[in-house]
Amino acid sequence: MELYLQFGHGMKALTLDLAKKWNGASVILSPRDMTTDQLTAWSKDFEKAGVECYFDPQCYCPKSELKRLVQYGYWDCNLNTNLQAGDTTIDKQIKEIKRYNDIANTKVYILPSILNNYDPEWANRFISQSKRFIEAAHKVMNDKPVFTTLALPKDFLVQSEATIEPVLQEILELDVNGYYVIAEALDRKYLIDNPMWLSNVLHICATLKIAGKKVIYGYGNHQLLPISLLKADAMASGTWQNVRSFTNRFVDLDEQKRKSTWVYYPEALSEYKLSFMDWAFNNGYLLSMKSKDKDFLDESINKIFQSSVPPSATGFSETDAFKHYLCCLKHQIYLLNKQSYKEAFESYEVLLTTAEREIERLEKGGVYAQARSFKNFIDVNRAAITRLNQNHGFALGMSWKSM
């Protein structure tokens, strides 16, 4: 599995910076966060820097008033999309989306999808919409792979596997090369405390992968690392929470209140506020939060660990925190890319056990990750991977080399 960048507010410089550091990168562009002129200009910059682009049309919430997104040709002037209208309109919109893909010289086409609330008719509506987009796409998008977007509402993701099954069978029959999976977060939370949600996300993605389809998981974060265990092709993540988890509150970031700087400690799968890092510094715990694996120690985090002053006085910025998070996530994904499913599964179990131990150790020293502690999510992830193993462990083991 690879890490893709989920483009968000103010991410251009960081994307170029990370592409330089990583010797190339893949980014899923976000029309919500760039004007059409910026798309044209930045795509050229990205291409020069070896950044492979994808274009997410972001039609999830047609009623949203997103000042940049509405400038795009597939969005109508009433701040609404026509994606639920007749075929002719869909054909036009798909052509427009293709035009933006051409501008960005994308690797694959990502088709739009609306995030509808879950109700008994949701599946029929969702499959029928998806088929219409796909049908329109096949008329004009024939020069590269086509991915359909699975915008899965939160209430669907906590249904029983038996309820999910017929929908999954319909999804598998869609005539596409791959799936861009968007899972709506429960209660708009960053980390999800319901094992059903995560287990179903893993179940859906594993089924698609075992069936030989490509899977890109969008708007992900470190809680979704177990999608490595099903050899998803990529997980996309980004800077702010609105590109690390997906909610139906699909708004411009500049309307959101900015909060503290959080520093990711990969061994604990937790993020710590800079103020708590200062506290750890004063109490002699900071150096114990320095990763043993030097590949987690990028130049951003080294500002903290190679300094004799408290972290907040080192100039460690929000951008540094984002960069550090993404570098760590990329390395954690790399560490889970194993020769066999069994090895990957065992490595992930070790990762959880280590995080559990580290969180406990730091808490004994009074160092707390507060709202971004992974403490209450370790069991959620354990439960979800246990179910993944029961459901698909054998098939993943058998298919691993060919996936």
Partner 1 sequence: MLIGELIKKYPSLKVIKTYPESGQKWVYLVDTDAYGVVMLKIIKRMDERIQREIDIVNQNDIPGVPKIKEISSFQHNGIEHHYLFEEYIDGETLTDVFKRGPLNLQQSLKLFEGLLIVVAKLESLGIVHRDIKPDNIICAKNGSYCLIDFGIARNLNLTSLTLTAVAVGPHTPGYGAPELFQYNKTKINSRADLFSIGVVIYQAIFGKHPFITGKEADLNEVWYRTATVTPQDYLIPGDTDSQLIGLIQTLMQKQVSKRPPSAQKALEWYYTVLGTLSI
Region of 77-85, 188-196, 208-216, 297-305 interacting with partner 1 (CB under 8 A): 208-216
Binding part of the chain for partner 1, among 83-91, 105-113, 277-285, 385-393 by CB under 8 A, reads: 385-393
User: What tokens were used for 247?
Assistant: 């909610």
Residue 394 binds partner 1 (CB under 8 A)? yes
Alpha carbon 185 to its chain's center: 11
Q: Which of 70, 103, 210, 253 binds partner 1 (CB under 8 A)?
A: 210
Interacting residue with partner 1 among 47, 87, 102, 165 (CB under 8 A): 165
Query: Would you state the torsion angle of the CA atoms of residues 133, 134, 135, 141, taken in this order, to the nearest 10 degrees?
Result: 100
207 binds partner 1 (CB under 8 A): yes
Binding region for partner 1 (CB under 8 A) out of 69-77, 220-228, 305-313, 392-400: 392-400
User: Which range touches partner 1 (CB under 8 A), out of 68-76, 202-210, 280-288, 295-303?
Assistant: 202-210
* Residue number with CB closer to partner 1 (3 or 205): 205
Q: Is the Cβ–Cβ distance between 380 and 195 less than 8 Å?
A: yes
Among 73, 145, 166, 366, which residue interacts with partner 1 (rule: CB under 8 A)? Answer: 166
Q: CB under 8 A: which stretch of 69-77, 103-111, 266-274, 387-395 binds partner 1?
A: 387-395
Of 253, 378, 395, 403, the one binding partner 1 (CB under 8 A) is 395
Using the rule CB under 8 A, is 391 a contact of partner 1? yes
Q: Is 211 in the site for partner 1 (CB under 8 A)?
A: yes
Between 173 and 299, name the residue whose CB sits nearer to partner 1.
173
161 binds partner 1 (CB under 8 A): yes
Residues of this chain that interact with partner 1 (CB under 8 A) are: 161-162, 165-166, 168-169, 172, 203, 207, 210-212, 391-395, 397-399
